[in-house]
């Protein structure tokens, strides 16, 4: 495809000019769920020396942009600011929309944009090492003395965790009759000077009732209206009442309700801004769900203590940097890590490692300054609503996936490499994939009280070719013996599935592992085994004394035995074990038993609890070495004892 010449009108000066747009300019329109389509002007505004937002800009003859993005782009779109109300939509549907996240892997709004381009082969600046060294030492200029020697990197989260300079994203649906509308108003000339910007961002706007701006200095928020596909961004927001907001600046862009593409590759707000850089950097925040899933698959944004003064790096619209040194990076500039750097070998914290892998492939972008540290922007918990658990707090999905460690101070800034200012390369060549995928198993419970054993696995492929197939294997230890050789089920060799169900045997233990092979043929290592022991039912034990046989669905395998007799006992066939667990019913009048293997006393179990609880596994202490012999369970009280089964763990 050759060079395209287009006649247009330069914004603000009213004269016709010929703009050379370069090759491969896409000028596709977004169709709104509410009807109408986007119609923004592609090209370069020579009067302002900037590139219009909202299209797939590709520089002519170079990968360097002609300038920053324009603050406003001519917009003749016909998309309505609010959707027509659909009376068939329900309150439950609205709840589902409002609690969804545009940053979740399955609903990521910025797919197929600059946020997901592979930059591993992008050009680096000759002075990348100097910039990396400068950045490594930058926070010390701004931090108090007690932090200056060691603190470099932090996080913006909000909700009481980290800094508060990230932008909460709220999702709404103006077509739902249950959707609340709030009135947004401004007198700021950054908005009122532009009729289209004012018309779209002021007046009634769909927003969840719980919406509030960030508590950081920018007091910003973003709202995605699934009814129209319009995403609005606001800066300097004050919530005056439950249904009214004032704001200082604002912005908007168009989506089809599910994705920003196809006509906004650079994530530029069509008009206005809700941050200094003026792009939708909230869509490069690190999502809670993707962290819970174990990988970040897009560019990440980070705020810096400051940036280079007077330099704006495309796709940014503006800069408020104050640094004058030659090695200072610019707002909007992209950084990465060496493509051949073994990130797993760096010993990073879980979150730093996850971020570093994303930066290596997709890059990081300087989105603002904070006069503090480099701070990665994480998804704000405010967006999900007051009833939702904070995924970053103790017990939350992201927090748990990170083992409770949200630290990022060890991020390797000294290894960063920096792309040229204004780099606008659309697609970089994908380097050869020589990195094997890394498989993982969903952990099995130590004890399993059914014969069917669901097993799941997954893998990530940092090399880029993608996971192609999996192999799965397992070992089995019978009641009275150790583990045998690996078993390789035919159906789980070279499989594309990620789950199966094993059929277990009572009293046996199973240890499962998997490996992955990517599309380039790289074979990964076998995972660490995950193991589960299937309980031996009470009916497999011989009984001495008075025991009552129970049958009920509340018990494992539908049965249990009980007694109140002192000295009554149960005995199994010979076992070989490192640790035993009893499956019991606990209650407020529960009794006690002693457990031995052969002639060796193993421990004592109390079956007492404040209320009746069935199928409780009570573990005895781990043995110093494997013991072999029959297990004897003897009551040591006249309180009620209910035995449901026994779990046998083996030497692995």
The residue that leads in pLDDT, 574 or 432, is 574
Burial 188-217 (b: 16+ CB within 10 A, else e): eebbeebebbbebbbeebbbbebbbbbbbe
* Beta-bridge mates of residue 266: none
Position 272 scores a pLDDT of 97
- Separation of alpha carbons 230 and 40, rounded Å: 14
The residue that leads in pLDDT, 32 or 464, is 32
The residue that leads in pLDDT, 14 or 642, is 642
Position 261 scores a pLDDT of 65
pLDDT > 70? residue 26: no
Residue 430's pLDDT band, with cuts at 50, 70 and 90, is low
Position 410 scores a pLDDT of 97
- Separation of alpha carbons 151 and 145, rounded Å: 10
pLDDT > 90? residue 322: yes
- Separation of alpha carbons 597 and 582, rounded Å: 13
Position 388 scores a pLDDT of 87
pLDDT > 60? residue 20: no
pLDDT > 50? residue 524: yes
Residue 55's pLDDT band, with cuts at 50, 70 and 90, is confident
Mean pLDDT (the chain) is 92
Structure tokens at 645: 């089964």
Residue 429's pLDDT band, with cuts at 50, 70 and 90, is low
Position 428 scores a pLDDT of 62
pLDDT > 90? residue 158: no
- Considering Cα of 54, then 55, then 59, then 64, what sign does the dihedral take? positive
Position 16 scores a pLDDT of 27
- Separation of alpha carbons 561 and 50, rounded Å: 81
pLDDT > 90? residue 536: yes
Tell me which residue of 250, 98, 115 sits closest to 174, measured CA to CA. Answer: 98
Position 28 scores a pLDDT of 64
pLDDT > 50? residue 17: no
pLDDT > 50? residue 188: yes
Instruction: Report the half-sphere exposure of 425 (CA within 13 A, side-chain side).
Output: 19
Per residue in 81-102, pLDDT (tens digit) is: 999 999 999 999 999 999 999 9
Residue 2's pLDDT band, with cuts at 50, 70 and 90, is very low
Residue 466's pLDDT band, with cuts at 50, 70 and 90, is confident
pLDDT > 60? residue 571: yes
Position 288 scores a pLDDT of 95
Per residue in 575-598, pLDDT (tens digit) is: 999 999 999 999 999 999 999 999
Position 347 scores a pLDDT of 96
Q: What angle do CA 401, 403, 407 make, to 5 degrees?
A: 100
Tell me which residue of 170, 151, 152 sits closest to 213, measured CA to CA. Answer: 170
């Amino acid at each position: 495809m050759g060079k395209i010449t287009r006649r247009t009108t330069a914004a603000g000066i009213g004269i016709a000019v010929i703009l050379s747009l370069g090759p491969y300019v896409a000028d596709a329109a977004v169709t709104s769920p509410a009807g109408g389509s986007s119609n923004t002007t592609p090209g370069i505004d020579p009067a302002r020396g900037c590139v219009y937002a909202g299209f797939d800009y590709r520089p002519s003859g170079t990968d360097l942009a002609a300038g920053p993005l324009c603050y406003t782009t001519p917009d003749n779109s016909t998309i309505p600011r609010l959707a027509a109300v659909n009376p068939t939509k329900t309150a439950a549907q609205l709840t589902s929309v409002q609690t969804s996240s545009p940053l979740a892997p399955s609903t990521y709004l910025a797919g197929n944009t600059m946020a997901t381009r592979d930059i591993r082969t992008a050009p680096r600046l000759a002075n990348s090492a100097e910039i990396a060294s400068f950045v490594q030492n930058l926070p010390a200029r701004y931090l108090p003395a007690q932090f200056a020697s060691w603190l470099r990197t932090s996080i913006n989260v909000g909700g009481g965790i980290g800094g508060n300079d990230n932008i909460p994203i709220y999702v709404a649906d103006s077509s739902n009759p249950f959707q609340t509308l709030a009135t947004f108003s401004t007198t700021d000339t950054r908005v009122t000077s532009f009729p289209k910007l004012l018309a779209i961002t002021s007046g009634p706007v769909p927003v969840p009732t719980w919406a509030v701006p960030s508590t950081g200095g920018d007091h910003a928020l973003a709202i995605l209206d699934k009814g129209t596909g319009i995403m609005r961004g606001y800066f300097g927001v004050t919530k005056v009442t439950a249904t009214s907001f004032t704001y200082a600046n604002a912005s908007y862009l168009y989506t089809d309700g599910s994705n920003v593409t196809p006509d906004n590759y650079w994530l530029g707000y069509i008009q206005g801004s809700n941050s200094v850089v003026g792009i939708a950097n909230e869509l490069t925040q690190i999502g809670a769900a993707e962290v819970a899933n174990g990988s970040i698959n897009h560019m990440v944004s980070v705020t810096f203590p400051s940036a280079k003064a007077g330099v704006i790096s495309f796709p940014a619209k503006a800069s408020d940097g104050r640094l004058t040194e030659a090695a200072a990076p610019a707002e909007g500039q992209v950084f990465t890590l060496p493509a051949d750097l073994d990130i797993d070998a760096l010993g990073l914290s879980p979150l730093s490692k996850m971020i570093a892998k994303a930066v290596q492939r997709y890059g990081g972008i300087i989105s603002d300054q904070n006069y503090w540290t480099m701070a990665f922007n994480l998804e704000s918990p405010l967006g999900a609503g007051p009833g939702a658990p904070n995924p970053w707090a103790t017990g939350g999905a992201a927090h748990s996936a990170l083992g409770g460690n949200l630290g990022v101070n060890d991020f390797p800034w000294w290894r960063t490499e920096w792309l040229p200012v204004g780099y606008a390369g659309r697609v970089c060549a994908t380097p050869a994939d020589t990195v094997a995928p890394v498989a993982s198993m969903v952990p099995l419970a130590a004890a399993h009280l059914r014969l069917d054993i669901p097993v799941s696995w997954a893998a990530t492929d940092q090399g880029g070719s993608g996971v192609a197939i999996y192999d799965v294997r397992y070992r089995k230890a019978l009641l009275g013996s150790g583990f045998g050789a690996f078993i390789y089920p035919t159906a789980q060799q070279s499989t594309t599935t990620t789950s199966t169900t094993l059929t277990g045997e009572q009293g046996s233990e199973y240890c499962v592992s998997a490996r992955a092979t990517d599309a380039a043929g790289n074979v990964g290592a076998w995972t660490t085994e995950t193991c589960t022991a299937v309980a031996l039912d009470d009916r497999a034990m011989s009984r001495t004394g008075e025991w009552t046989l129970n049958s009920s669905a509340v018990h494992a395998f539908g049965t249990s035995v009980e007694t109140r007799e002192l000295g009554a006992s149960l005995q199994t066939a010979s076992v070989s074990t490192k640790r035993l667990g009893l499956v019991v019913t606990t209650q407020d009048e529960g009794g006690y038993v002693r457990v031995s293997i052969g002639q060796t006393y193993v421990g004592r179990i109390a079956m007492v609890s404040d209320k009746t609880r069935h199928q409780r596994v009570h573990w005895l202490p781990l043995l110093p070495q494997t013991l072999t012999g029959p297990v004897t369970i003897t009551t040591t009280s006249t309180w009620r004892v209910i035995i449901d089964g026994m779990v046998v763990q083996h030497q692995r």
